[in-house]
């Protein structure tokens, strides 16, 4: 019987006799639980990993796709200093960057965002950029996002 053979669902089930498929069964046939599964595509795990490094961000605006460090959020009624983790990606169809990240937990910022605050200006090394604020995460950090040149590009670290 192969997987292409039709199955007769009206035939009685015999649970007392062994199944006779018309050919001998080889229990060692293609069963190997100690080796990786062979999907049919050859995979070379012995050599070095070759990563295509063809993404090139214009050096005039910076080249770091991620930023972790201090930032200042200018709100409508004051300033909050936070630590942030942000990353950026270039969207070729839109022709601009999209970037996002999170702040470290801050009770004042969490309370303000929880009350409806959704916009601020983020300052990284004296570069000011508008930023959107989203709901706080369970750990007290606030999601931040923006479009255009990321605020850390061109920084003097």
- Gyration radius (Cα) of the chain, Å: 29
The per-type count for the chain, helices as H runs and strands as E runs, is 1, 6
Given this model, what pLDDT does residue 5 score? 63
Region 117-126: mean pLDDT is 94
Measure CA of the first residue to CA of the last residue in the chain; give whole Å.
Answer: 69
Given this model, what pLDDT does residue 97 score? 92
Q: Is pLDDT larger for residue 64 or for residue 116?
A: 116
| Contact criterion met (CB below 8 Å) for 103 and 84 | yes
| Contact criterion met (CB below 8 Å) for 120 and 103 | no
Stated pTM of the model: 0.57
Given this model, what pLDDT does residue 125 score? 86
**Structure letter (DSSP) for residue 111:** H
């Amino acid at each position: 019987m192969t997987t292409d053979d039709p199955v007769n669902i009206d035939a009685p089930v015999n649970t007392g006799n062994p199944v006779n498929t018309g050919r001998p069964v080889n229990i060692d046939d293609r069963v190997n639980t100690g080796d990786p599964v062979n999907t049919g595509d050859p995979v070379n795990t012995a050599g070095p990993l070759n990563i295509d490094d063809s993404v090139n961000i214009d050096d005039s605006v910076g080249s770091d796709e991620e930023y972790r460090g201090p930032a200042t959020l200018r709100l409508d009624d004051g300033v909050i200093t936070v630590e942030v983790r942000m990353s950026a990606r270039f969207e070729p169809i839109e022709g601009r960057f999209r970037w996002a990240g999170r702040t470290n937990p801050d009770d004042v910022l969490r309370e303000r965002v929880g009350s409806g605050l959704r916009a601020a200006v983020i300052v990284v090394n004296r570069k000011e950029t508008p930023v959107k604020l989203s709901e706080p995460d369970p750990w007290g950090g606030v999601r931040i996002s923006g479009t255009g040149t990321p605020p850390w590009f061109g920084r003097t670290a």
